[in-house]
Amino acid sequence: MSVSATYDVVVIGGGHNGLTAAATLAKKGKSVCVIEKAEAFGGMAREVAHLLYNLHPKVARELGLGALNEGKPLSTISLAEDGNHVEISGDTVRFADGAAHPDAAAYAEMIRRLKKFAGVLGQLSTKTPPKLDGGLTSLATLGELAGLAKMGLDLKRLGKKDMNEFLRVILTNAYDLVLDEMPDGPLAGALCADAVRGNFVGPRSPGTVFNLMYRLGQGGDVRLPKGGMIAVARAFEDAARKAGVDLRAGQGVTRVLIENDTVNGVELEDGTVINTRAVLSSAAPKATMEMAGIEHFDVEAARRMRHMRCKGSVAKLTLTLKDAPSIKGLSWDQMKSRFLIAPSAAAVERSFNPVKYNELPTAPVIEAVIPTLSDVEVASDGRHILSANIQHVPHTPEGGWDDAKRRHVINTVVAQLETHMPGLAALVESPDLLTPADIEARTGAPGGHWHHAEMGVDQILTVRPVNGMAHYRFAIGGLYLCGAAAHPGGDVTGLPGRNSALQLLKDGVLS
């Protein structure tokens, strides 16, 4: 064992949250090193995500990533079997051919309300979740409660009608909320699809309204930055490097070294030891616990972490196409949109059925985009890429993944797309499927879960990732969580990383 270096902070995992945490600390003058197991930085933002939304403006500003939030957001087109596709641009809804949509006003009103609610909730996302067990005599508790009190006040300021509505819907399901306002169809389906993405739920599952609000946290605009998500990952990487962070890729941390209940280093795969005063881990809570040694954790904490809900249900399919596909009735410009195959709220709920029983999808919800249409530089030899996030694919189906099952998923998705893009199957050169199991293997995300841990009422805010661990502090002195499993949760927000770094500074571990 040789000590190769000493840092104030070692960050485990070079996903966007790890990089954000590292950059935030480096900007405060701390010496920071990020250890990434894979060869490239960026984690799930690079491997799984294909669109950018929810990037928090504070993170963007502090890390100099403002450019990522610029540019025209993509429209969403919810594909309809009868060809009357619905186009959603911001709060405006119309049919793709330009005709007025009968539910446009209802949609605008609902989104206005949800965004307002999301704004109120969003205040909590940039702070450590409030903790009440310190008692009212604890200064730290009072500080955290102030945030909660402010939210309460803002809730009051919504006015009686909206406040009642907020309290009514916050824990309910998207299916009921949406169908209260409009008949079922591609527009309702689109809302429900966005309410379930990444989670092991259907639109009738409780808490899906919260998930929809979470998605609308930064307004809900979806962007396709130039260069795609690889460029986004690189932007985070560059921000960290510019801030003075040392980045090490290609080798993972095997152990977090602990003495006297305090972190004092990490050991890498080749036995190299790096000394440090603090470790921020963007790895999964259970994996982090195992790196540190289970004996350092209370039995209850270990039990909660191993029972944390994290069944991934999103697969990613990348199709390389010989030529650009087209959809009848859509303009070239409209082909650059985000497509949803979610023909109705009921169809989204049905999409969830097979995965509950660990079965392969029959008609899954699909979010697809053809980035090569917007970003011609990425396309080569006239080839195009269609990227699809497939909702409701099991992590490991009965009997495990094999070629036949992978082929089945690919064929199912291509066939679904083919109904709207005639001739697509013939254009496919090479389909590349990442199942939740593949995503877990590549990124370490438990269960291959989009958010590292299911975003359910039992796993958000003060109980994220688990009860007693919501303060980023991870039992052992100097050990912190900074990944999506920590508050506020997944998506490329940068917030868990930023919040964790700020909590570390606040706790005075490095002073």
Partner 1 sequence: MSKTPTAVPVGAIPTPLYERMEAISTTKSWANWAGYISPLVLDTVEFEYFAIRNQSTLFDISPMHKYRISGPDALKVLNRLVTRDVAKLRDGRVGYALWCDEEGMVIDDGTIFRYTETDFLLCCQETMYSWLLDSAWGFEADIIDESHTIAGVSLQGPTTFSLLKEAGLGAVEDMKPFDLREVEPGLWVSRTGFTGDLGYELWTAWDDIAALWDRLWAAGGNWGLRAIGAEALNMVRIEAGFIAAGVDFQPVHTAMRLHRGRSPLELGFEKLVHFEKGHFNGRRALLQQREDGMKHHLVKIDIGGFKPADGSLIYHRKKKEVGHVTSGVWSPTMKQNIALAEFKAPYGKAIQDDLWVEIYVNEEGQWDKRIVPLTVVDKPFFQNARSRATPPKSF
Question: Which tokens in the block code for residue 121?
Answer: 């909730």
Q: What's the length of the chain? A: 511
Minimum distance, C-beta of residue 290 to partner 1, in the bound complex (Å): 7
CA–CA distance, 54 with 45 (Å, rounded to integer)? 12
306 belongs to the binding site for partner 1 (CB under 8 A): yes
**Closest Cα to residue 199, out of 497, 459, 379?**
459
Helix boundaries (H) for 64-159: 104-122, 139-157
Minimum distance, C-beta of residue 467 to partner 1, in the bound complex (Å): 10
Query: Binder to partner 1 among 23, 55, 302, 409 (CB under 8 A)?
Result: 302
132 belongs to the binding site for partner 1 (CB under 8 A): no
Residues 6+ apart with CB under 8 A from 441: none
User: What residue type is assigned to position 26 of the chain?
Assistant: A
Minimum distance, C-beta of residue 134 to partner 1, in the bound complex (Å): 11
298 belongs to the binding site for partner 1 (CB under 8 A): yes
Helices 104-122 and 139-157: crossing angle in degrees, nearest 10, is: 160
Query: Binder to partner 1 among 72, 157, 303, 328 (CB under 8 A)?
Result: 303
Minimum distance, C-beta of residue 462 to partner 1, in the bound complex (Å): 16
**Smaller CB distance to partner 1: residue 208 or 462?**
462
Query: Binder to partner 1 among 39, 70, 295, 403 (CB under 8 A)?
Result: 295
Query: What residues numbered 406-435 form the site for partner 1, per CB under 8 A?
Result: none
Cα R_g (the chain), whole angstroms: 22
136 belongs to the binding site for partner 1 (CB under 8 A): no
For the chain, helix (H) and strand (E) counts, in that order, are: 18, 15
**Smaller CB distance to partner 1: residue 261 or 429?**
261
CA–CA distance, 496 with 482 (Å, rounded to integer)? 5
Query: What residues numbered 239-278 form the site for partner 1, per CB under 8 A?
Result: 261
Residues 6+ apart with CB under 8 A from 493: 54, 55, 56, 59, 125, 217, 218
Query: Binder to partner 1 among 106, 249, 379, 475 (CB under 8 A)?
Result: 475
463 belongs to the binding site for partner 1 (CB under 8 A): no
CA–CA distance, 168 with 145 (Å, rounded to integer)? 23
CA–CA distance, 76 with 72 (Å, rounded to integer)? 12
Question: Which tokens in the block code for residue 477?
Answer: 């002195």
CA–CA distance, 247 with 240 (Å, rounded to integer)? 8
Task: Kindly indicate which of the ranges 86-94, 205-213, 301-309, 315-323 contains the residues binding partner 1, using the contact rule CB under 8 A.
Answer: 301-309
**Smaller CB distance to partner 1: residue 264 or 318?**
264
Query: Binder to partner 1 among 7, 53, 175, 297 (CB under 8 A)?
Result: 297
Mapped onto helix, strand or coil, the DSSP state of residue 15 is strand
Query: Binder to partner 1 among 468, 505, 507, 510 (CB under 8 A)?
Result: 468
Query: Are the CB atoms for 452 and 410 separated by under 8 Å?
Result: no
131 belongs to the binding site for partner 1 (CB under 8 A): no
Minimum distance, C-beta of residue 261 to partner 1, in the bound complex (Å): 6
Minimum distance, C-beta of residue 497 to partner 1, in the bound complex (Å): 25
**Smaller CB distance to partner 1: residue 89 or 138?**
138
Query: Are the CB atoms for 232 and 20 separated by under 8 Å?
Result: no
| Chain-centroid distance, C-alpha 42 | 13
Task: Kindly indicate which of the ranges 2-10, 117-125, 287-295, 448-456 contains the residues binding partner 1, using the contact rule CB under 8 A.
Answer: 287-295
Minimum distance, C-beta of residue 448 to partner 1, in the bound complex (Å): 22
**Smaller CB distance to partner 1: residue 118 or 476?**
476
The residue count for binding partner 1 (CB under 8 A) is 15
Query: Are the CB atoms for 283 and 443 separated by under 8 Å?
Result: no
User: What residue type is assigned to position 382 of the chain?
Assistant: G
On the question of a cis peptide bond just before residue 225, with omega within 30 degrees of 0, the verdict is no
Task: Kindly indicate which of the ranges 51-59, 209-217, 295-303, 378-386 contains the residues binding partner 1, using the contact rule CB under 8 A.
Answer: 295-303
Task: Kindly indicate which of the ranges 17-25, 117-125, 297-305, 358-366 contains the residues binding partner 1, using the contact rule CB under 8 A.
Answer: 297-305
301 belongs to the binding site for partner 1 (CB under 8 A): yes
Query: Binder to partner 1 among 87, 237, 290, 454 (CB under 8 A)?
Result: 290
CA–CA distance, 32 with 17 (Å, rounded to integer)? 14
296 belongs to the binding site for partner 1 (CB under 8 A): yes
CA–CA distance, 435 with 361 (Å, rounded to integer)? 12
Task: Kindly indicate which of the ranges 60-68, 296-304, 351-359, 439-447 contains the residues binding partner 1, using the contact rule CB under 8 A.
Answer: 296-304
CA–CA distance, 155 with 168 (Å, rounded to integer)? 13
**Smaller CB distance to partner 1: residue 417 or 469?**
469
In the complex, the residues that contact partner 1 under the rule CB under 8 A are 261, 290, 294-303, 306, 468, 475
